[in-house]
Amino acid sequence: MALKLITVLFILPLLALNANAQQPVTYDVRKYGAKPGADISQALLDAWKEACNSTTPSKIFIPPGTWSLSQVKLLGTNKAPIELQIQGTLQASPDPSKLPNKEGEWITINYVNFLTISGGGVLDGQGQEAWKLNDCHKNKNCAKLPINLSLNFINNSIIQDVTTKDSKNFHVNCISSYNVTFLRFTVSAPGDSPNTDGIHVARSTNVRITDSIIKTGDDCVSMGDETKEVYIQNVTCGPGHGISIGSLGGYATEKDVTGIYVRNCTFIGTTNGVRVKTWPSAPATLTVSDLHFEDLIMDNASLPIVIDQEYCPHNLCNKDRPSSIKISNVSIKNVRGTTSTAEAVWLVCSGLKPCENVEVGDIDLKYTGNQGPITTQCTNVKPKFVGKQNPPVCATTAKSA
């Protein structure tokens, strides 16, 4: 109930603003030269510039149909609320080498206040060919591929009723932003598409992801450093790698993460459920606190509950020293369903800074495989238990019910 009230309190001002504002002036990209079969980047940019300069609310309109878009960077600041209404499908070139700015993202929006993105349209990154070029799992200096939608320094904004599809890299990032809502947002990509995180949030405060469906090849939602007050509710995740905090610790300048709420979410066939991941032998000393994973359904998900402070994918690091990141004030409650791995709960904390104030409530997970009994693992943590746990958490092994 508290989370619902918080969500309503954040969304209502945006809805009230729209309800009380005068009718927006519409900037139809066709009036700026957009034509089917041709690149509409300049038309969209021209419409955006006029809308940004408007002192009254404005709406940029992309009509139904399929529209080619090479790349666009939409910059504020705007003088009044602005809406980007996408009713059609925007298509990127399948070839990432054709980006005018090789270091840029596909669609970038920076420095905007009271932004709405809506319309039921699709951002189609056409990433199939680019995925074949992705060797980041073995090459730290891998080629940069574009994100479908990059949001930076966005405040008091809502992204609703749109789909991002087959991004070449992350689908969306939300960086250095405040009070941003993703509502009825859809992410669509195959489960084997590499590095296609659904929504990545970092250095942002008060971000809500609600009533959304995320199917992708990496984390459904990932959260980086300096992230505060993130509310993820009624999200269906899968395929994908689950909902993750981290990985953290790779840079000495990283700042604290606090106030992460994941509630009423469903994980279908994911390679993880909820997890926190920090690098060992890393320079950062931040804290990660006030994490709440509650009322979650696992549908044949691997590793449903994970704290991993020895995170080292593809052996691209060393484990000479334990993680210097402190994790505390964690609640894991009412997690139920099925797991495809015998490991149901994995709480592997730092030997240097053990996890503190971890509370584990009702857990009811059943193993669907045949690789031995269902197990849990706990290292450098002494949880407080409330209710019933099936399997028993922090026992070496436990038989499936």
Q: Whose CA is closest to 84, among 11, 167, 157, 145?
A: 157
Torsion angle (degrees, nearest 10) of CA 62, 66, 68, 72? 30
Q: Which of 171, 200, 241, 292 is catalytic?
A: 241
∠ CA 197-193-291, rounded to 5°: 25
Do residues 325 and 296 make contact, with C-beta atoms less than 8 angstroms apart? Answer: no
187 strand-pairing partners? 164, 214
Cβ–Cβ under 8 Å, residues 62 and 72: no
Residue 190: which residues within 8 A CB-CB, separation 6 or more?
A: 166, 217, 239
Instruction: Kindly state the DSSP code that residue 37 receives in the 8-state scheme.
Output: T
What one-letter code names the amino acid at 250? G
- 56 closest CA partner among 25, 18, 28, 27: 25
Closest among 62, 208, 42 to 123, alpha carbons compared: 62
Q: What are the residues facing 296 on neighbouring strands?
A: 265, 335
Q: How far apart are CA 189 and CA 201, in angstroms?
A: 19
Identify the CA nearest to 329 among candidates 259, 251, 244: 259
Q: Is 137 a catalytic residue?
A: no
The two tokens of residue 113 are 């206040």
CB 342 within 8 A of CB 350: no
E strand intervals along 29-167: 58-62, 66-68, 72-75, 82-86, 89-91, 107-113, 115-118, 122-124, 149-160, 163-165
Contact 224, 200 (CB under 8 A): yes
Q: How far apart are CA 48 and CA 353, in angstroms?
A: 49
* CA–CA separation, 148 and 187 (whole Å): 11
User: What is the chain's alpha carbon radius of gyration, rounded to the nearest angstrom?
Assistant: 22
Which residues are annotated as catalytic? 241
